[in-house]
Amino acid sequence: MAFLDFQGQVVLITGASSGIGAAAAVGFAEAGATVALHYHQNEEGVRHTANAVGTAGGTASIHQADLSVPESAGGLVDEVLARHGRIDVLINNAGDLVKRGPVVDLPDEEFRRIMDVNLTSVFAMSRRIVPVLRAQGGGAIVNVTSIAGRHGGGGGSVVYATSKGAVSTFTRGLAKELAPDGIRVNALSPGVIRTPFHERHTAEEQLDAMVASIPMGRTGAPRECVGTILYLASDAMSSYVTGQIIEVNGGQLMP
């Protein structure tokens, strides 16, 4: 049995311009999938991802949407369906810390933005994809949460951590709701992964402090998350796995 064979399947990855989303796109392409790449603002990055997918022997399409606006999820899914005819796997990867800062200094609009980028986007995409997967007889949703959702986040990231904790809870609840439909819902929970996320939001001394708490003594790379994502998306490998949050963090957290 070819455990990581996604031939004939279409995988939609949100936030595919860089980091974990981009690495996952290449991984799925190497396993035979057609990959629909979503981006919000980083068009140059998503085109780089599409080129990498092509180099891996895969086929990619590019789709733009601001998923912090719930209504945009429908347009994105409709566009992918019009292009490819089906969607078998949804990877809810899009998200961002937005801005570090103490809770007392966080304006209402920034609170809402953080929650919308990280949680509302997952809700809206999942709500829209469920009828598609039901009509096809099943499928898989893989959300990307964070170690922050368990330990409350690093300095100045309480609301981000809250949004990711909610993604983990949403994952478990949706898994129960959709199990009768043959739709599995799981999540990857990365630790400290070297991506543009930390380049934007984490000072080097703060990153060093994080690394000091990791038994493996280093940050992770986006490619080190790909195996877990493919495992959770593969019916051949994880057909009896749903509602699980898989930690990939170098031993920083062992729940």
User: Which residues have a catalytic role annotated?
Assistant: 160
Q: What are the backbone dihedrals phi and psi of residue 181, each rounded to the nearest 5 degrees, phi first?
A: -90, 0
Distance CA 147, CA 17 (A): 22
CB atoms within 10 A of CB 96: 18
Neighbours of 237 (CB within 10 A): 13
In the 8-state DSSP scheme, what is residue 220? B
Q: Which of 156, 162, 167, 184 has the alpha carbon at shortest distance from 120?
A: 167
Beta bridge partners of 220: 193
User: For residue 40, is it left (φ>0), alpha (ψ between -120 and 50) or beta?
Assistant: alpha
d(CA 108, CA 58): 43
CA 34 to chain centre: 17
What's the chain's Rg over C-alpha atoms?
Answer: 17
DSSP string spanning 52-116? HHHHTT-EEEEEE--TTSTHHHHHHHHHHHHHHS---EEEE----------GGG--HHHHHHHHI
Our CA angle for 28, 31, 33, nearest 5°, is: 60
Residue 92's alpha-carbon distances to 16, 100, 103, 127, 141, in angstroms, are: 10, 22, 26, 12, 7
